[in-house]
């Protein structure tokens, strides 16, 4: 087992992802400051501010995990530190869930209390200006860059099989949706619909909670060594089925099974085979191991084990 490095063709993709995360952090800090200066009493504005603040966590988690996972194997960490990526994914997903829950509880309480959030005026360049206009400007800044950053990260997350990057892209999506709903809330207050602000914040929170809960569940499954899934958790990863198909085509194998688990970007696990003649030469086992590892850069450490009979179900037949 050698220390893991991304394929050369993916190294520029990883560097681009790192640059995007540093841009994201700088941008979010500016958005948080701008929103804080125009916060007022709006619940939707508060939701947007809290979300942008917590949106820093996935970006930071990605950068920390990116540094740790390159540490290589050691006596203390014989399999390396790839799970740092999975831990970062859990942190990023939990941030989404916390944001949604806080916004939902706060907004619901305000609506139940029938609070009418006021939007006053401020002195700007010697003139009285309705605070709603600076609020809308801050929300536009909170929405537009987040939209494009999120779209850029989604493509990179697919190429890198990086769930932290995917969760961060989801957070950026939540950012611009939050900002859009907050604009509706601010404009609603401006025309006298006091409830529009709270309703907008509730809409925001439910969508964020849904994404957060789905990603927290997926991160926990990864930590519990569940069968690997695609970066967006929409389906099982096809590599397991591809390895099984390869095993089924070997004339010296009676039957086989594959057990893979995710460790950040990469998969590790075992290939169990029942030889037809009851024996398997080292040459055959070594060749099968090499063939499996060559199927994808995501396969980091796969052990081929000959057994008398299979006592584990094949994932494709569960």
Beta-ladder partners of 263:
266
Place of tokens 């519990």: 224
**Model confidence pLDDT, tens digit, residues 280-302:** 788 888 999 999 999 988 888 88
Average pLDDT, the chain: 81
Q: What SS3 state is found at 85?
A: helix
Does this model's pTM top 0.85? My answer is no
For residue 308, what are its two tokens? 């008398």
Q: Is residue 119's pLDDT more than 90?
A: no
Q: Is residue 60's pLDDT more than 70?
A: yes
For residue 64, what are its two tokens? 């920390």
Contacts of 76 (CB under 8 A, 6+ apart): none
Q: Which of 18-22, 47-51, 80-84, 189-193 has the lowest mean pLDDT?
A: 80-84
Percent of the chain with pLDDT over 90: 16
Beta-ladder partners of 304:
271
Range list of H helices, the chain:
11-37, 43-54, 56-68, 83-112, 132-160, 163-190, 194-223, 239-248, 282-293
- Look at residue 99 in the predicted model and tell me its pLDDT: 75
**Model confidence pLDDT, tens digit, residues 26-45:** 999 999 998 888 877 666 67
Q: Which of 9-13, 143-147, 287-291 has the lowest mean pLDDT?
A: 9-13
**Model confidence pLDDT, tens digit, residues 236-293:** 888 888 999 999 899 899 888 898 988 777 888 899 999 988 777 888 889 999 999 9
Q: Is residue 312's pLDDT more than 90?
A: no
CA gap 256, 50 in Å, rounded = 51
């Amino acid at each position: 087992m050698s220390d893991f490095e991304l394929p050369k063709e993916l190294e520029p993709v990883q560097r681009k992802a790192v640059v995007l995360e540093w841009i994201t952090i700088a941008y979010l800090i500016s958005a948080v400051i701008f929103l804080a200066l125009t916060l007022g009493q709006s619940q939707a504005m508060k939701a947007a501010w809290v979300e942008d603040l917590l949106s820093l966590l996935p970006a930071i988690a990605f950068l920390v995990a990116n540094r740790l996972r390159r540490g290589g194997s050691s006596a203390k960490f014989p399999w390396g530190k790839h799970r740092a990526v999975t831990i970062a994914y859990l942190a990023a997903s939990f941030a989404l869930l916390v944001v949604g829950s806080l916004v939902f509880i706060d907004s619901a309480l305000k609506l139940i209390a029938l609070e009418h959030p006021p939007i006053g005026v401020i002195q700007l360049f010697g003139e009285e200006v309705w605070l709603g206009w600076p609020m809308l400007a801050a929300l536009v800044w909170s929405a537009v860059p987040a939209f494009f950053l999120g779209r850029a990260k989604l493509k990179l997350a697919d190429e890198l099989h990086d769930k932290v990057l995917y969760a961060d892209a989801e957070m950026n999506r939540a950012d611009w949706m939050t900002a859009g709903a907050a604009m509706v809330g601010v404009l609603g207050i401006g025309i006298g619909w006091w409830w529009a602000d709270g309703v907008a914040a509730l809409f925001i929170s439910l969508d964020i909670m849904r994404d957060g809960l789905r990603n927290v569940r997926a991160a926990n499954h990864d930590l519990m060594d569940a069968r690997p899934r695609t970066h967006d958790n929409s389906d099982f990863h096809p590599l397991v089925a591809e390895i099984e198909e390869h095993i089924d085509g070997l004339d010296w194998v009676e039957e086989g099974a594959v057990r893979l688990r995710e460790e950040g970007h990469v998969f590790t696990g075992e290939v169990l085979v029942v030889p037809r003649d009851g024996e398997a030469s080292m040459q055959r086992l070594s060749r099968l191991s090499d063939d499996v590892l060559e199927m994808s850069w995501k396969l980091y450490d796969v052990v081929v084990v000959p057994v008398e009979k299979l006592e584990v179900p094949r994932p494709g037949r569960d």
